[in-house]
Structure 1
Amino acid sequence: MSLRDRAGGACALATFTLLCLPACSAQDISIPRSICDTPVEQKLTAPLLKRTGELSEWHTAGWGGKETSVCIISVDKSEALRFRFAWHTDTIDPMTYSSLDNSVTGLWEPRRVGHLAESATLGDNGAIATTRCEGRAKWHFTLALKVTRDQKIVHQRNDIEQFMRAYMPATMKAVGCTHP
């Protein structure tokens, strides 16, 4: 076998291996059509999740019926997204809960954002939105999202904002909350 034949065979094998690696390695996750019982476009969820692995969803007991509920989306048993849903009688300022020293909802570089809810903050790793709510015994609804999948990725603000602009009103509808 000549050197040229060996090189051609090695090249073909290397090309096959490179083409196969993305398809033959870990299986791509299937982006769900709903997150935490709320329908949302897959194209809005995909940037917030790791591309490969097994996706799972976990809710606190009494999901949706308690004053505060949590929903966690995991990829390969590692937490990727954490949602907190809260119903309360008083108004809150999301900036108060956005500081990094808040272990539950602390956000990187939080800033106020308009036209998302009555009051909202957006960070590089999550968002908090709150609004008045009719249709429940409690009069305010707050949704907090924290992206936890990779602490090294810090600039997801645009992806988070696009997701929240769709997810907040869809969640309000899903929990029976209408803005007065």
Structure 2
Amino acid sequence: MQNGLPIAVRLPLAVLLLAGVAACGDPQEYTVPSKACDRDVSKDELGALLPSGAELSDEPWVSDNSFSCQIYVDGLMQFAFTEHSGQRKFDVSAYAKSGRLGNFDQLRASDVSDNAVVSHTRSVVMAPCPKAGKNYILNLDLPNTDGDHSDDIERFVRSYLPTGLAAMGC
């Protein structure tokens, strides 16, 4: 007996205290949802694009021919996509190269569609929208991300495109 407690009691007590400290130090991870702004998404594909954190939230915005979804991790926007229907056709690659679609880091053609581009943190895809007329555009952005995420972006776009087209009446 040392310090007033028998050794048999001190050891389990020390293990419990260490376990409690370790549990308090680990941030609680959010669960990647199967919906973003009430749209079905692939949990795996979305999860590959999001950083770790404790809290995930989303914010939709809807108008007649547009839909936007912003996803926040711990209060910082990490992922955004905007969809438009009823758009006239244009060459996405030419517009992106000219800067008319904003900035792209390491722009290249994407095989997601015959009229699509992808970069390290962005993608713009145009697809026909025969039911609603004209074309559908999906613009995806990872605004607060470094590094090359182009392959993960393309996987997300491939999995999401049928959902987006259907939701926009295409």
TM-score, normalized by the shorter chain, greater than 0.5:
yes
Letter in 1 for 2:79: L
Runs of 5+ consecutive residues of structure 2 not aligned to the other structure: none
Equivalent residue, structure 1, for 2:137: 142
Equivalent residue, structure 1, for 2:109: 112
Equivalent residue, structure 2, for 1:128: 124
Runs of 5+ consecutive residues of structure 1 not aligned to the other structure: none
- Alpha-carbon distance in structure 2 between the residues aligned to 1:110 and 1:18: 46
Equivalent residue, structure 2, for 1:40: 41
Equivalent residue, structure 1, for 2:57: 56
The alpha-carbon distance between structure 1 residues 56 and 19, as it changes in their structure 2 partners (threshold 3 A), is: same
1:19-98 superposed matches below 5 A: 20=23, 24-60=25-61, 63=62, 65-66=64-65, 68-98=66-96
Normalised TM-score (structure 1): 0.75
- Alpha-carbon distance in structure 2 between the residues aligned to 1:97 and 1:18: 54
The alpha-carbon distance between structure 1 residues 173 and 123, as it changes in their structure 2 partners (threshold 3 A), is: same
Letter in 2 for 1:111: R
Task: Work out which of the residue numbers 135, 156, 166 in structure 2 matches 1:163.
Answer: 156
The alpha-carbon distance between structure 1 residues 55 and 107, as it changes in their structure 2 partners (threshold 3 A), is: same
1:117 Cα offset (Å): 2.2
The alpha-carbon distance between structure 1 residues 72 and 173, as it changes in their structure 2 partners (threshold 3 A), is: same
Deviating above 4 A after TM superposition, structure 1's stretches of 4 or more consecutive aligned residues are: 11-19, 99-102
Aligned residue pairs, count:
161
Max Rg structure? 2
1:57 Cα offset (Å): 1.2
Normalised TM-score (structure 2): 0.78
- Structural RMSD (CA): 2.8
CA contact (8 A) 1:100 1:107 kept: no
SS at match of 1:48: coil
